[in-house]
Amino acid sequence: SNKVFADLPVTVFEAMSQLARDNDAINLGQGFPDDPGPEDIRRTAADAVLNGYNQYPSMMGLPELRQAISTHYAHWHGVQLDPLAEVMVTSGATEALASAILSVVEPGDEVIVFQPVYDSYLPIVRQAGGIPRLVRLEPPHWRITEEALRRVFNAKTKAIVFNNPLNPAAVVYPREDLELLARFCQEFDAVAICDEVWEHVTFDGLSHIPLIAIPGMRDRTIKIGSAGKIFSLTGWKVGFVCAAPKLLRVAAKVHQFLAFTTAPNLQVAVAYGLGKSDDYFLQMRKELARSRDRLAKGLSDIGFPVIRSQGTYFLTVDLSPLGLNETDEAFCKRIVTDYKVAAIPVSAFYEEEPVTSVVRFCFAKNDRTLDTALERLSDAV
Ligand code: PMP
Ligand code: GLN
């Protein structure tokens, strides 16, 4: 049997969505919007299906999409990428992460991973033979400290896997933390694998800063994005890997046997979408921020201590002041059966020493869904 995968549980997102279905609950667990997504982008995909974009595209992605990714990041982040040598299209960020990790990590390499950790990272690090070194981040700020990095970086460090904006904590990391990480990656000659799928989903005027744009990081960073999050079309599974040619070349060798290509019709539509005006992206942030505020106010009126969300589709609440005497996991199991609202326990994002008092809610839903969930939870505290 496969030692890494055989005993893994079903991911918390799938498990919670199943519980939501079983209980006929409103699903504020797994992160996906309940509106249909931008019509022009969906129409572009439909036209591409009808007009013949249905056979294997180039392994690295359609040239027009690779160009659009390069143009998009130059415009939004001032990062210059050669579309042919430094950009690859993947089947979602999940595949991008696997391709990146498997291309960098060799048996015995240490890989620094931050908890809360997105659930796909550790199994892939282990499959590569890597040894995870965990950094535990804590609410309510989840900041990265020099002492924490000093404890884990060493001569065996090969890579870090870093998620920013951070799911589930909803933190958009400031330049100071990124510079600290950059300093350690350079001192210990480590590659930074950066999961930046939430890059466009930031609020209150906060901007995402890609680690690849921090001085010294250009040639040691693998930047990963996802059209699913950029366009609120989470089922599309169109991801991107951006990296210097020497890193991208190896990631492409893994990609060719994990997924090889990605639906060309969706690639056409994503290329179109990435060229949309700044207004589109700013409007999306504004609408999501409005939903965030609606859920945050409702939860806090009920009595839940809400931790401020700076980005992503998620906000978190801290159960510890409530004196409920139950873990986040028990709380989530209870509210899905008793109140018919599903949420995600943040402890699921820890492998050791879990934070057990924080629960994640997805607010990327229409007002009626949020209001009904709030009504149901009105006497939960
Ligand atoms: N990384 C993070 C932090 C995510 O939140 C998600 C999905 N929500 C992914 C990766 C996976 O992205 P994709 O659906 O493009 O595979
Ligand atoms: N990333 C999404 C979330 O955090 C879920 C993706 C998945 O189901 N694997 O909710």
The two domains 12-37+279-376 and 39-274 share their CATH topology (first three levels equal): no
pLDDT in tens, 30-67: 999 999 999 999 999 999 999 999 999 999 999 999 99
Residue 308 CA to ligand 2 center (angstroms) comes to 20
What's the whole-number mean pLDDT along residues 260-289?
97
Distance CA 141, CA 47 (A): 45
**pLDDT of 309 strictly over 60:** yes
Confidence at residue 2, expressed as pLDDT on a 0 to 100 scale: 67
* Banded pLDDT at 1 (limits 50, 70, 90): low
Is the predicted pLDDT of residue 169 greater than 70, yes or no?
A: yes
What residues pair up with 225 in beta bridges, in sequence order? 240
Residue 241 clears pLDDT 90, i.e. is over it: yes
Distance CA(359)–CA(307), nearest Å, equals 10
Residues lining ligand 2, judged by CB closer than 6 Å? Answer: 11, 13, 30-31, 167
Report pLDDT for 247.
98
The pLDDT of residue 366 is 97
Nearest CA to ligand 2 atom 7: 13
Query: Residue 226 has what pLDDT?
Result: 98
Class of domain 39-274: alpha beta
**What's the one-letter identity of residue 33?**
P
Residue 381's pLDDT is 86
- The string of pLDDT tens digits covering residues 328-348 is 999 999 999 999 999 999 999
CA distance 223 to 196: 7
Tell me how many degrees the CA angle 193-197-199 measures, rounded to the nearest 5: 105
Residue closest via CA to ligand 2's atom 9 equals: 13
- The structural domains of the chain, with segments of one domain joined by +, span 12-37+279-376, 39-274
The bound ligand whose nearest atom lies closest to the alpha carbon of 27 is: 2
Tell me which ligand sits closest to the C-alpha of residue 226. Answer: 1
The predicted structure's pLDDT at residue 3:
79
Nearest-angstrom CA–CA distance, 28 and 342: 5
Q: Is residue 237 predicted with pLDDT exceeding 80?
A: yes
Q: 13 C-alpha vs ligand 2 centroid, how far in Å?
A: 6
| Ligand at shortest distance from the CA of 227 | 1
Question: What does the pLDDT average to over 10-29?
Answer: 96
Distance 127 CA to ligand 2 centre (A): 21
pLDDT reading at 207 higher than 60: yes
Tell me if 94 CB under 6 Å of ligand 1. Answer: yes
Between CA 93 and CA 64 the distance in angstroms is 19
Q: What is the pLDDT of residues 91-148, one digit of tens each?
A: 999 999 999 999 999 999 999 999 999 999 999 999 999 999 999 999 999 999 999 9
With respect to CATH, is domain 12-37+279-376 assigned 3.90.1150.10?
Answer: yes
186-196 pLDDT tens trace: 999 999 999 99
Locus of tokens 């639906």: 263
Q: What is the pTM of this model?
A: 0.97
